Amino acid sequence: MVRADRDARGAAPGKVIGALSGAGGPIAARASKGLLAVLALGLALRIVLLLSLPSATRDSLFSDARLYHDWAAALARGEDFVGAHPYWLPPGYPILLSALYRVFGADPSVAILFQSLLGLLSVALVHGIGRRLHGEKVGVAAGVLAILYAPFAFFEGKVLPANVALPLLLLALALSLRDRPTTLRAAGSGLAGGLAVLLHPSAILPLGALGLSLALGGGRWRERAGRAAAFFLALLLPILPATARNLRISGQWALVSANGGANLYLGNGPSAGATFRSPSPEWGTIFEQRETAIRTASSIEGRAVDESEASRVLAREAARWVAANPGDAIALFAAKAAALVSTFEFDPLHGIAAERSLHPVLRIPFLPFAALLPLVVAGIFLARPPGAAGARIGAFVLGHAAISLLFFGYSRFRLAAVAALLPLAAAGALALVREGGRVRRRPVLVLLLAGSVGLSLVPLRTEKRLALARGHASVGYGALAAGDLEIAESSFHRALEASPTSVAARLGLAQVARSRGRDLEALEWIASPGPTGEKWVPLLLERGSLRAASTDPAIRDLAAAASDFRRVLDFDSGSEAALYGLGGVAYERAKGREVGDPLRATDLREAEKWFHALVDVHPDSEGGWRGLAESLRGLGREEEAAAAERRWRELALGPNS
C-alpha cells in the first residue's frame, strides 16, 4: 500500500483514486470486513433512532402515511380499498405492507422496522457502487457518508413508499454499472426498476434515462441495443399487471396510477412554488385529491370526466400555463432547481428541522447537503468515474432532477439521486485529502467548489419558512393523534412563530383547546377566518363544526354554523365536510322540534337534500349515506331509508356484511 500511495503522487487526477483505493490484492480480501464495519455503524445508528423515536411520530399516522397504512390494512383483511377506479396512488407500497401486516399485524412499527432493514441494504448498495467505481476505500467512505446523511435514516421512521423505492432504484443502478453488462444483468436492472415504478411512477424518468444509457459502453451496436431492450422489457414486467388491472376494472388507461397530471398541475401554475404548495384547501389533503382533480378537470371541460381524462386535462393546463407565462415559468423552474440542491431538507409533511425538538438524536450535526455537493464536484474532476459507469450515474441523477423540475421537490424524492452521488462524493473526499494544498493550484476547481457550496446555501427564505411551519404543524397533528396535547400545543405554537398566517397551526390549536373542553378558547383561534380567501376554508369548517356541536349556549349557534358551511361551498361546491355539516345542522334542528311540528318535516327535507347532494358527489361517503337514511326514516320513507342504510353498512363493514 505504501508503494501504491507513493506511485499515486505523480499520477494524473483520474488515477489518483485508483491508487488510493488499492484495488485488487489484499484490499479485495478485506472488502467484506469494510462492508461489515459500515453496516455495523449503520445498524447502531438505526437502533438508537428507533429507540428514541417519540410516540408522537411513531404511533400516529396522518396524510399519506395514514392512507397507505389504511390501504395495506384493508388488503391484509382481504378487503378492496380502491373500488372500481384506476389506482390514484401507486399500489406497490400498500401491497407490500399488506403482506407484512398479514404476518406481523397491522402496526406501523412493523413497517418502520422493515424499512430500517431496507435502509441497511441501501447502505450496502452505496458501498457496492463506490467499490465498483474506484475500489474498497471509496466504497467504505461512500457507505459512511450514507450513514452520516440524516434523511436516509430519518425517513425510514415514516410510513412512506420512498423507503422501499430507494434500495430498488439503487439495485437497478448497481446492476447497470459494468462497461458491458450482460443481458441478464440489464434485465435484472430493469426488473428492479419496474418494481420501483410501482412505488413511485415518476421514477420512470431516471429509469428511462438509465435504460437508454445502457446503449453506451463496449460492444457492437446489436449487443448494446440488446441489453437496452432487455432492460426495458424487464422494466415493464411488474408494471403491466397494474396497467391491465386499471383497464379491466375501470376501462381506463393508466400505466400505474392516474395522479400524474394532477401533480403536474399542482407543480406548474400561478400558485406553485419550489416545493409543494396547495392552490386551495381541498388539494391539500391526499384523501380528497382524486375527487378534487375530477371536479377541477370537469369544471375546465364543462362536462364530467373520469380519472384518466382528468389527469390529461390537468397536465394540459399545466403545459398551457408554462407556455403562456414563460417568464414566471423560468423563475419557477429556477426556484425548483435551487430547492433541489438546497442544504435545507424540504418536505411538505416531515421536516427534520421541525422534529429536532422531539428527537434528540436529530440534534447530532449530521452531514449537510452543502458539504456533499462540493465533494461530488471534486469527485468528478479529481477522480473521473469510468466512462460508461459515469454516464449511467449521470443519466440516473439527471432523470431524478427532471422529476423535481417537472413536479416539485421533496427531500425524500431526491434520496435516490443523493445515494447515487455518494460514491462520487467519497471519491472526491479522498482525492482532496490526497491532493492537499495542491488544490489551490486549480483555480477552476476551487471556483466550482465554492460555487457549489454557495448554490446549496441559497436561502429560499419563504419556502424555508413555510416548510418549517408545515413541519411543526405535522408534528403537532401527530402528537394530537397520539393524545399528547402538550407536545401538540407547543408544536403548533412553533408553527405560528415560523408562519403567523399558518392555518394548519391555528386549526391545530383550536383542536387542542376542544380536546381540553375549552370551546371558547378554540373559537378564539378560529374566530376571524377572513371574509374571502380559500386558504381559510379549513377554519370555516372547524368553526361551523364547533358552533354545531358545542354544548355551551354561548357558542352553539346552528344558523351561524350553516352560514359557515355555505361559505365553504362558495369556494368548493363539492366539499364533503361542508355538505355533511349542512345536512347535520338541518337534522339537528329537526331533532329539536316536536314530532307534529310542520317545521320538523321542513328541516328533515332540507337534511335529505344536503345528504343527497353529498352522496351524489361522494358516493362512498359513509356519513352521507347514514345521514340520508336517518333523514328519510324521519320523513317516514322507510323503503328508501332501508336502501340508504344498506349502502351505508356496505361502506362501513364491507360488501359481505
pLDDT in tens, 275-306: 888 787 777 778 888 888 998 999 899 998 99
Q: Please tell me the pTM assigned to this model.
A: 0.83
SS3 assignment, position 62 = coil
The dihedral of CA 639, 642, 648, 654: what is its sign? negative
Average pLDDT, the chain: 86
Strands (E), 139-205: none
Residues 6+ apart with CB under 8 A from 385: 133, 134, 379, 393, 423, 424, 427
Residues 6+ apart with CB under 8 A from 374: 428, 448, 449, 450, 452, 453
pLDDT value of position 60: 64
pLDDT value of position 212: 92
Q: What is the mean pLDDT of residues 100-128?
A: 93
Which range, of 38-42, 451-455, 608-612, averages the lowest pLDDT? 451-455
Q: Is the pLDDT of residue 365 over 80?
A: no
pLDDT value of position 50: 81
pLDDT value of position 26: 38
Of 6-15, 56-65, 228-237, 272-281, the range with the highest mean pLDDT is 228-237
pLDDT value of position 54: 64
The amino acid that residue 461 corresponds to is R
CB-neighbour burial class of residue 621 (10 A; exposed 0-12, middle 13-18, buried 19+): buried
Q: What is the mean pLDDT of residues 163-169?
A: 96
Q: Return the C-alpha cell found at 150.
A: 440524516
- Intra-chain end-to-end CA distance of the chain, in Å: 72
Q: What is the mean pLDDT of residues 36-42?
A: 92
Q: Is the pLDDT of residue 40 over 50?
A: yes
pLDDT value of position 10: 36
How far apart are alpha carbons 72 and 412 in whole angstroms? 21
Q: Is the pLDDT of residue 389 over 80?
A: yes
Rg of the chain, C-alpha, whole Å:
28
Q: Is the pLDDT of residue 561 over 80?
A: yes
Which range, of 211-225, 314-328, 531-545, 617-631, averages the lowest pLDDT? 531-545
pLDDT value of position 48: 86
How far apart are alpha carbons 167 and 423 in whole angstroms? 15
pLDDT value of position 27: 38
Which range, of 281-295, 300-314, 582-596, 598-612, averages the lowest pLDDT? 281-295
For a pLDDT cut of 90, what percent of the chain falls above it? Answer: 45
pLDDT value of position 14: 40
Q: Is the pLDDT of residue 624 over 50?
A: yes
How far apart are alpha carbons 38 and 372 in whole angstroms? 18
Domains and CATH numbers, the chain: 2-256+342-456 (no CATH), 459-554 (1.25.40.10), 574-657 (1.25.40.10)
Which range, of 51-60, 240-249, 488-497, averages the lowest pLDDT? 51-60
Of 95-99, 177-181, 388-392, the range with the highest mean pLDDT is 95-99
Q: Return the C-alpha cell found at 657.
A: 356484511
pLDDT in tens, 139-165: 999 999 999 998 998 899 889 999 999
Q: What is the mean pLDDT of residues 490-518?
A: 89
SS3 assignment, position 230 = helix
Q: Residue 21: which pLDDT band, with cuts at 50, 70 and 90?
A: very low
Residues 6+ apart with CB under 8 A from 596: none
pLDDT value of position 650: 84
Residues 6+ apart with CB under 8 A from 416: 165, 166, 169, 170, 203, 206, 396, 400
Per-residue 3-state assignment (H helix, E strand, C coil) for 528-583: CCCCCCHHHHHHHHHHHHHHHHCCCCCCCCHHHHHHHHHHHHHHCCCCHHHHHHHH
Q: Return the C-alpha cell found at 509.
A: 390549536
For a pLDDT cut of 70, what percent of the chain falls above it? Answer: 92
Q: Is the pLDDT of residue 208 over 90?
A: yes
Q: Residue 480: which pLDDT band, with cuts at 50, 70 and 90?
A: confident
Q: Is the pLDDT of residue 655 over 50?
A: no
The dihedral of CA 229, 235, 238, 239: what is its sign? negative
Q: Which residue has the higher pLDDT, 193 or 487?
A: 193
pLDDT value of position 103: 94
